[in-house]
Amino acid sequence: MARLFLGLDASTQSLSAIVIDGDARDVVYECSLSFDDALPSYGTTNGVLRNPDPKVIHSPPLMWVEALDLTFRQMRDDGVDLGSILAVSGSGQQHGSVYMNASAPEALAGLAAADSLAEALSGVFSRPTSPIWMDSSTTAECHEIMDALGGPAATAEATGSAAFERFTGPQIRKFYKADAEAYGRTAHVALVSSFMASILAGRIAPIDHGDGAGMNLMDIERKRWHPGALDATAPGLAKRLPELVPSASVIGAVSPYFVENYGLNPDARAVAWSGDNPNSLIGVGLVGPAMVAISLGTSDTYFGFMAECHTDPHGEGHVFGAPTGDYMTLICFKNGSLAREAVRDTYGLDWDGFSEALRSTPPGNGGAVMLPYFEPEIVPKVLEPGVQRFGLQEDDAAANCRAVVEAQMMSMRIHSGWMGVRPKEIYATGGASENPEILRIMADVHRCPVYRFEVSNSAALGAALRAAQAQMAEGGEAPAWQDVVAGFAEPVPGSRIEPDPAAAAVYDEMVEVYAQHERESIAPRPS
């Protein structure tokens, strides 16, 4: 009998499932359910609820509950051998929070008697909607928490990140301040990940170290709740939070509900869920020191494996627990494809023309530099957009194409320096990773080989791989993580791009020039 493992991903817009065969080293099934299309009665657009205040972005947690039923029904109807599933784990959109009343444990334990998950759990919420990672309405609460902990740097050192509006701690604080009565009725605060794990396990599930680090509530070094952060957030919060556990923790057997209704293996293990970022770390195979992925999307994201905990004294980057038991880091740059496309469109180019511009210009661009803040920037923090050019003529299309890409890569190198480790190899993902000229600049600036990586459902794949590792470890196999991901998380064959030593030497000097322009640009102006 095949050894199958199920990974689920509750993202912003959809619930996805992947089944892997641990022996054949193959993905044997995939499906994805769009919340808007499959569950229109919840009134979401792209998985979220509209609000008169554009900074307030919530989703209905009961929608995720019903989506889980529909996904298992689809797997059963598609003929998936659910009876051979040995373990289930999952991924939840990071930072989203779910608020349940005192009836939740009994409702979860009694799922088997219900006709549907939504029927069984409709009464467990002390708050009908869940703030998610897109919500940016908690600026005041962020400052209150950071002030209590000694400022942004001290908060980052304590919890892994400075307080950010999307993080769970500030969201809980806002809920307590805005509706103390509803907060008082809240007996259990969960993350999207631990809430969905609770349904699978039929009990209140713990929060894993990876997703717990995205709350501004976990002591990042000791991996336990931080008393000062809890006190700064809301009264009585400690008793409302579940325990923190390693990502490989087995919660127990799956709920009989899934066995009786869908034929899931009754001996299948329910493994703690984690956030989408830690799961993606596994899904792209970043399980060793100095391994980094750069996702070139609407925003560019730099994330990677970290053996020892180093926090960013500037409060720009994030540190989360990694499923391997180590750490991971993540830095988000808003002006990613937004900036590349803006330059391309300004000069009336298509992507082939953009690539030709990169080929026709020299590394270092003759010293010309662009600060590409087409939109307000996250890293470094730039509130007012505006493109700045130094030694760069605005009418020189080719030089501007190179300047925007070089700026992005040099900014990543500069703002990842606090990690204390230079990457030894980079996996490039996202739409722009198909452009070899962009990857060539990436390799030269970072002085290491770059591989292209085609990512499809990396969070769900990471969850399935985590389920396999946890089940095997519980059985005494204790497989190495490199062996767990082998055959699943592999770069595109033949995609390796080596850095050019001469170009890399040019960028070693240019990085300092760029850093100086950046410091001068964002320094406070004298009044």
Task: Specify whether 309 is located in the same domain as 378.
Answer: yes
Task: Specify whether 30 is located in the same domain as 82.
Answer: yes
Domain C-terminal end among 224, 246, 279: 279
pLDDT of residue 525: 56
pLDDT of residue 320: 97
Q: Looking at the domain assignment, is residue 473 inside a domain?
A: no
Single out the residue of 470, 468, 471, 460 nearest to residue 25, CA to CA: 468
* Three-state secondary structure string covering 322-338: CCCCCEEEEEEECCCHH
SS3 content of the chain, % helix, strand, coil (to 5): 40, 20, 35
Q: Looking at the domain assignment, is residue 465 inside a domain?
A: no
- What phi and psi values does residue 179 have, to the nearest 5 degrees? -150, 75
Dihedral (CA of 245, 247, 249, 252) sign: positive
Q: Which domain holds residue 507?
A: 285-454+497-527
Task: Specify whether 198 is located in the same domain as 254.
Answer: yes
Distances (CA, A) of 527 to 202, 376, 524: 60, 22, 9
Which are the contacts of 303, defined by CB distance < 8 A and separation ≥ 6? 277, 280, 281, 286, 292, 293, 295, 328, 329, 330, 331
Q: Looking at the domain assignment, is residue 341 inside a domain?
A: yes
Q: Looking at the domain assignment, is residue 101 inside a domain?
A: yes
How much is the pTM?
0.91
Residue 29 near residue 19 (C-beta atoms within 8 A): yes
pLDDT of residue 524: 67
DSSP result, 138-157: -HHHHHHHHHHHTSHHHHHH
Task: Specify whether 254 is located in the same domain as 346.
Answer: no
The domain spanning residue 107 has which CATH number? 3.30.420.40
Task: Specify whether 228 is located in the same domain as 345.
Answer: no
Dihedral (CA of 244, 248, 249, 250) sign: positive
What whole-number distance in Å separates Cα of residue 89 and Cα of residue 461? 10
DSSP result, 412-443: HHHHTGGGS---SEEEEESGGGG-HHHHHHHH
Q: Rg of the chain's alpha carbons, rounded to an integer?
A: 23
Domain C-terminal end among 279, 305, 328: 279
Per-residue pLDDT of the chain (527 residues; tens, 9 = 90+): 789 999 999 999 999 999 999 999 999 999 999 999 999 999 999 999 989 999 999 999 999 999 999 999 999 999 999 999 999 999 999 999 999 999 999 999 999 999 999 999 999 999 999 999 999 999 999 999 999 999 999 999 999 999 999 999 999 999 999 999 999 999 999 999 999 999 999 999 999 999 999 999 999 999 999 999 999 999 999 999 999 999 999 999 999 999 999 999 999 999 999 999 999 999 999 999 999 999 998 889 999 999 999 999 988 999 999 999 999 999 999 999 989 999 999 999 999 999 999 999 999 999 999 999 999 898 998 988 999 999 999 999 999 999 999 999 999 999 999 998 889 999 999 889 999 999 999 999 999 999 998 877 899 999 999 999 999 999 999 899 999 999 998 899 999 999 999 999 999 999 999 999 999 998 765 54
Task: Specify whether 20 is located in the same domain as 164.
Answer: yes
Domain C-terminal end among 279, 294, 325: 279
pLDDT of residue 293: 95
Tokens of 357: 């511009």
What whole-number distance in Å separates Cα of residue 430 and Cα of residue 434? 8
Distances (CA, A) of 331 to 234, 238, 415, 480: 28, 29, 8, 27
Neighbours of 27 (CB within 10 A): 17
